[in-house]
Structure 1
């Protein structure tokens, strides 16, 4: 199984780790595209602070993120699974996984990123601020920048595995599974059962809990249909139908009343 996650807007501080080593990141085929975004972002944030804030969409209270981005090349790096925080990652609880589940997470989880394209949760990265919706002056829209490189590397990364796509729409724009990979892809929408509406907190927390359940219980579905049955066996209420045409992703609705 390959699980695609969105990043978090807020991130833990970099701390005193060793500086970034770009060549050590997962998906080395993205190296050139990463270098372009990193160089552009550092240059932007080392210059006019107000322009950088405007480009990055940062409020006055987040002014300090500009200086953080300017120092990305020398900032301490730590595992991506520790850098990303927020509701989904709190529910996923990577730091409290047992050894076997932690190894699976390292093999099976990819976090999409406006800066890095996608990284594994064990990849060492510094804390940064650069969402997929940003348009950098010399590169343009980041989602468009990543589409070509992602189309090259992601089919190989997926292999013949089930792809569980939990990304938000902004990050899904950077890579759309096609062909055989699309037919092995399942997207998940979390609905508040009483209203059948998407509620951000329910959505993020439940997605984190789903991934944790699959890792901890050592469940490895190979197809979307097997994923539906596995989630039901784990106690989730799932509504799903096979797509009308072969080679299309499955859409799963997970219904929740409340999140503890």
Structure 2
């Protein structure tokens, strides 16, 4: 099973790993595009106003541009610990046991505007690039990534549970992947999509899937793991699940 997580805009600082080595990352077929994007980000960082504009940042976020400038020289840390925010707080990877961490590194991957997709244990630096960004001279990231990323993800033989957000799902379609929607149900049984707590619920589901001793092989197994973790989850179609909250 491969659980594909969305990234986060925020990243943890520092790390104790060596500087970025693309050959140390999973899915080496993506390295030519990774190198092109990394070099483009470093070059863009030399022009702070242009970087802020291209990345959709404010003047107060100049530090993000400085991160990009140091992309090839800053320390790395495993991807699962690099990304921060609501989903990753709920995932609570730092609390995994050694056995759970090994399963998580095998089962979890993170969609990335810069790296395409990385496995949980892949060593990456802090950076700033969003899925909806357009870099000068390269065009939209969707046009850059889709031709190379889609074939790589299509070759994944295991069950794929796709938790990506819209901007990152647009970088590569994954036929047959199981998608998950978070909904709230009122007293009359009516459901609507949840936005505010969406990430937290997906983080808890990802933690359950990452650490379970069983190996889910289909959507019904994902539902069973979720239910065992106290998450109300229902299969609503062949490849779609809903996490149900409320009323």
Per the normalisation by structure 1, the TM-score is 0.88
1:174 deviates by 1.1
- Give the RMSD, CA atoms, in angstroms: 1.7
CA deviation profile, 1:32-88 (whole Å, cap 9, x unmatched): 010111111110112x21111000000122111111101111111111111100111
CA deviation profile, 1:10-36 (whole Å, cap 9, x unmatched): 111124542111111110000001011
- Aligned residues between the structures: 244
**Distance in structure 1 (CA, Å) of the matches to 2:210 and 2:52:** 38
Structure 1 residue ranges without an equivalent (≥5): 244-249
- Comparing 14-23 with 34-43, greater Cα deviation is found at 14-23
Alignment check: 8 A CA contact 2:208 2:225 kept: no
**Distance in structure 2 (CA, Å) of the matches to 1:219 and 1:209:** 17
**Distance in structure 2 (CA, Å) of the matches to 1:79 and 1:230:** 25
Alignment check: 8 A CA contact 2:6 2:111 kept: yes
Q: Kindly indicate whether residue 152 of structure 2 is the aligned counterpart of residue 163 of structure 1.
A: no
1:108 deviates by 1.0
The aligned counterpart of 1:104 is 103
CA deviation profile, 1:195-231 (whole Å, cap 9, x unmatched): 7333334211111111112233323221123323332
**Distance in structure 1 (CA, Å) of the matches to 2:100 and 2:196:** 25
CA deviation profile, 1:124-147 (whole Å, cap 9, x unmatched): 111000011110112111122111
The aligned counterpart of 2:117 is 118
Matches within 5 A, 1:208-247: 208-243=203-238
The aligned counterpart of 1:202 is 197
Matches within 5 A, 1:128-167: 128-156=127-155, 158-159=156-157, 161-167=158-164
Alignment check: 8 A CA contact 1:191 1:202 kept: no
**Distance in structure 1 (CA, Å) of the matches to 2:87 and 2:20:** 25
Q: Kindly indicate whether residue 172 of structure 2 is the aligned counterpart of residue 175 of structure 1.
A: yes
CA deviation profile, 1:166-198 (whole Å, cap 9, x unmatched): 0001000111113xxx1xx21111113337333
Does the residue aligned with 2:182 lie in a helix, a strand or coil? strand
The aligned counterpart of 2:61 is 62
Alignment check: 8 A CA contact 1:202 1:256 kept: no
**Distance in structure 2 (CA, Å) of the matches to 1:103 and 1:15:** 19
Alignment check: 8 A CA contact 2:51 2:65 kept: yes
